[in-house]
């Protein structure tokens, strides 16, 4: 069964991704701010209610008096009036005499835990602490009141406790108000960011429409005059890419035009010669026509092979640029090709010599390097007369040399011979593509090629590669 691969999720819009991340960040800030706001609200509630507790304790302390040597308490209604209308909490009090005995109030109010520090917020001998009374959490203030009466001299203690309901309600109200304001602020910030991002992305949208409205063959540079600085590197990269595409298309168009011209002429000549031979009646003319047709076919085959070689160079250059180069022994490649072409050189009466003393490693594409060697040797053999010499050298510094003692090339033509379909004369078998192919392969391998005058005569072709020795 064919396995169905899951489709990758679409990345979404830039605006949406920015808003989602900003919303997440604002959510985290809102969470931290909520916790901080809750504790701040709780401290504010504790401060407000603690002040009220202390005021109630002081009011009760003002009602202390002695009678018959005992401490009594006259608890005024105003001491508990502050909490009378608060349905969210209850108030409890307790008055203890100099010996800790209950004088008035509720029994069992919790005492201050050991180590409770006296408050420094108010000028009073008061301690604030949390406790539990009647299975409810309470906030308690313990006020020590000096007593100096006949027969009584010491400290009385007044305890006033309040349940936590009122404080919690106040803290919740403060928290909800803070959250509401922060939530509105966060939503307003998201709306403003959405609006700002939409405005900031307008140049990008204008760029998209400009590219979409172009014709398929329009590779002119994109304008960047009114684009923000952040988009200019993108536009520059697109313009550079368009420039490379335009150069590639121009080379392909020129190559197709030149190839069409080069193929049209020999094909027309071949067809005309065959038609002329068909009109003849003598077998000798037929044979002559067939021999010429065979020669012209060989030329066309050679031209077609060279055109295919040029097409392969483009794919090979891309493979090298994408990291597909291999580590190859240039001496071994030269040795194998020299052995393959030795019979051809011998048949033409040319001495073919190889000078490669050691392995020389280069980085490249094997098919293209073999094509380079083949074209250099083929060009040397084609221009060397019978009895001449062709030398193939591989030097340790990753240098390849092909030397012949043919007529050579004048210095004025050293640059032009690498142009496609350039021929110094109309004589010969070639179509002017051999050295052009060599030049393209050298550019693909970032190698330097140069032509020199051989001694005493002839041509020396030198190709310098980057060494790949380990």
Residue 168's domain is classified under what CATH number?
3.30.450
DSSP state at residue 454: -
Confidence of residue 84 (pLDDT cuts 50, 70, 90): very low
pLDDT at residue 401 in the model: 92
Structural domain includes residue 255: no
Structural domain includes residue 222: no
d(CA 127, CA 114): 11
Confidence check: pLDDT of 333 > 60: yes
Confidence check: pLDDT of 470 > 60: no
8-17, 221-230, 388-397: least confident range: 8-17
d(CA 434, CA 311): 14
Q: Which residue, of 148, 173, 198, is where some domain finishes?
A: 173
Is the model more confident about 58 or about 305?
58
In total, how many domains does the chain have? Answer: 2
Is the model more confident about 346 or about 305?
346
Looking up tokens 């201050």 gives 112
Question: Over the range 415-430, which residues count as b (16 or more CB within 10 Å of their CB) and which as e?
Answer: eebbebbeeeeeeeeb
Question: What is the per-residue pLDDT across 377-422, written as a single tens digit (0 to 9) for each?
Answer: 988 888 899 989 999 999 988 899 999 988 888 888 777 777 766 6
Q: Which residue, of 152, 173, 194, is where some domain finishes?
A: 173
Q: How far is CA 366 from the centre of its chain?
A: 34
**DSSP per residue over 43-97, as a string?**
HHHHHHHHHHHHHHHHHHHHTEEEETTEEEE---HHHHHTTTT-TT--EEEEEE-
Nearest to 140 by CA among 104, 103, 90: 90
Q: Which residue, of 156, 173, 190, is where some domain finishes?
A: 173
Looking up tokens 């009678």 gives 67
**DSSP per residue over 198-247, as a string?**
HHHTHHHHHHHHHHHTS-TT--PPPP-TTS-TTTHHHHHHHHHHHHHHHH
pLDDT at residue 310 in the model: 66
DSSP state at residue 112: P
d(CA 426, CA 343): 27
CA dihedral sign, ordered 353, 359, 362, 368: positive
Question: What is the per-residue pLDDT across 255-289, written as a single tens digit (0 to 9) for each?
Answer: 677 666 666 767 777 777 788 777 777 888 778 88
Question: What is the per-residue pLDDT across 44-75, written as a single tens digit (0 to 9) for each?
Answer: 777 878 888 888 888 888 888 887 778 888 88
Question: What is the per-residue pLDDT across 138-176, written as a single tens digit (0 to 9) for each?
Answer: 889 898 988 887 777 888 898 998 888 777 777 777 778
pLDDT at residue 87 in the model: 47
Confidence of residue 350 (pLDDT cuts 50, 70, 90): very high
The answer to whether the CB of 63 falls within 8 A of the CB of 74 is yes
The answer to whether the CB of 138 falls within 8 A of the CB of 161 is yes
Start-to-end C-alpha separation, the chain: 47
d(CA 373, CA 441): 10
pLDDT at residue 423 in the model: 64
Looking at the DSSP assignment, which residues form a beta bridge with residue 334? none
Pairing mode, strands 389-395 and 351-355:
parallel
Looking at the DSSP assignment, which residues form a beta bridge with residue 126? 143
Q: E strands within 126-195?
A: 126-133, 136-149, 152-163
pLDDT at residue 66 in the model: 81
Cβ atoms within 10 Å, residue 403: 20
Structural domain includes residue 213: no
The torsion angles phi and psi of 104, rounded to 5 degrees, stand at: -160, 155
Tokens of 270: 């071949």
The answer to whether the CB of 455 falls within 8 A of the CB of 400 is no
d(CA 417, CA 409): 9
CA distances from 196 to 15, 187, 193, 208 (A): 10, 14, 5, 19
Looking at the DSSP assignment, which residues form a beta bridge with residue 354? 392
Confidence check: pLDDT of 4 > 60: no
Confidence check: pLDDT of 1 > 70: no
- Residues 228, 230, 233, 239: what is their CA dihedral angle, to the nearest 10 degrees? -40
- The predicted model gives 464-468 an average pLDDT of 81
pLDDT at residue 322 in the model: 65
d(CA 369, CA 445): 9
- Residues 447, 452, 454, 458: what is their CA dihedral angle, to the nearest 10 degrees? 100
Residue ranges making up the domain that contains 364: 319-464
pLDDT at residue 50 in the model: 82
Tokens of 414: 């050293």
CA distances from 107 to 84, 92, 135, 262, 396 (A): 20, 10, 14, 119, 107
pLDDT at residue 460 in the model: 92
Tokens of 33: 């701010």
Q: How many helices (H) and strands (E) does the chain have?
A: 9, 14
Q: How far is CA 226 from the centre of its chain?
A: 26
Query: What CATH number corresponds to the domain at position 452?
Result: 3.30.565.10
CA distances from 291 to 44, 131, 335, 344, 426 (A): 113, 121, 35, 21, 20
Nearest to 15 by CA among 227, 196, 208, 185: 196
- The predicted model gives 229-233 an average pLDDT of 74
- Residue 172's H or E segment, with its range, is helix 165-200
């Amino acid at each position: 069964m064919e396995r169905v691969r899951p489709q990758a999720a679409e990345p979404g819009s830039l605006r949406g991704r920015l808003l989602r991340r900003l919303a997440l960040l604002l959510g985290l800030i809102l969470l931290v701010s909520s916790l901080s706001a809750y504790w701040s609200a709780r401290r504010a509630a504790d401060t407000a209610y603690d002040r009220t507790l202390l005021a109630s304790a002081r009011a009760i302390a003002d009602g202390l008096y002695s009678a018959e040597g005992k401490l009594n308490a006259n608890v005024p209604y105003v001491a508990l009036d502050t909490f009378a209308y608060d349905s969210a909490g209850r108030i409890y009090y307790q008055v203890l005499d100099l010996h800790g005995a209950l004088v008035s109030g509720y029994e069992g109010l919790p005492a201050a835990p050991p180590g409770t520090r006296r408050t420094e917020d108010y000028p009073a001998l008061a301690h604030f602490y949390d406790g539990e009374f009647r299975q409810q959490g309470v906030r308690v203030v313990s006020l020590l009141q000096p007593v100096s009466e006949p027969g009584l001299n010491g400290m009385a203690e007044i305890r006033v406790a309040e349940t936590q309901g009122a404080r919690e309600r106040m803290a919740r109200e403060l928290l909800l108000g803070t959250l509401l304001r922060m939530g509105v602020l966060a939503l307003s910030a998201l709306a403003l960011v959405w609006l700002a991002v939409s405005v900031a992305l307008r140049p990008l949208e204008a760029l998209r429409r400009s590219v979409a409205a172009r014709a398929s063959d329009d590779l002119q540079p994109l304008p960047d005059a009114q684009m923000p600085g952040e988009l200019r590197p993108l536009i520059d990269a697109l313009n550079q890419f368009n420039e490379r595409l335009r150069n590639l298309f121009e080379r392909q168009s020129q190559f197709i035009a030149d190839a069409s011209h080069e193929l049209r002429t020999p094909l027309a000549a071949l067809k005309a010669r065959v038609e002329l031979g068909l009109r003849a009646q003598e077998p000798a003319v037929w044979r002559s026509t067939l021999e010429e047709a065979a020669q012209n076919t060989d030329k066309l085959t050679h031209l077609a092979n060279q055109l295919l070689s040029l097409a392969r160079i483009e794919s090979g250059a891309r493979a090298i640029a994408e990291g597909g180069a291999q580590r190859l022994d240039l001496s071994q490649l030269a040795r194998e090709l020299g052995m393959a072409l030795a019979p051809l050189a011998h048949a033409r009466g040319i001495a073919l010599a190889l000078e490669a003393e050691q392995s020389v490693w280069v980085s490249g594409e094997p098919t293209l390097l073999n094509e380079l060697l083949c074209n250099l040797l083929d060009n040397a053999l084609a221009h060397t007369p019978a009895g001449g010499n062709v030398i193939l050298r591989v030097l340790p510094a990753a240098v390849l040399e092909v030397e012949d003692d043919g007529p050579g090339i004048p210095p004025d033509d050293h640059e032009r011979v690498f142009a496609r379909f350039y021929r110094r004369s109309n004589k010969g078998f070639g179509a002017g593509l051999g050295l052009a192919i060599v030049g393209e392969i050298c550019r693909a391998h970032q190698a330097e090629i140069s032509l020199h005058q051989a001694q005493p005569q002839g041509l020396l072709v030198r190709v310098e590669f980057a060494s790949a020795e380990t």
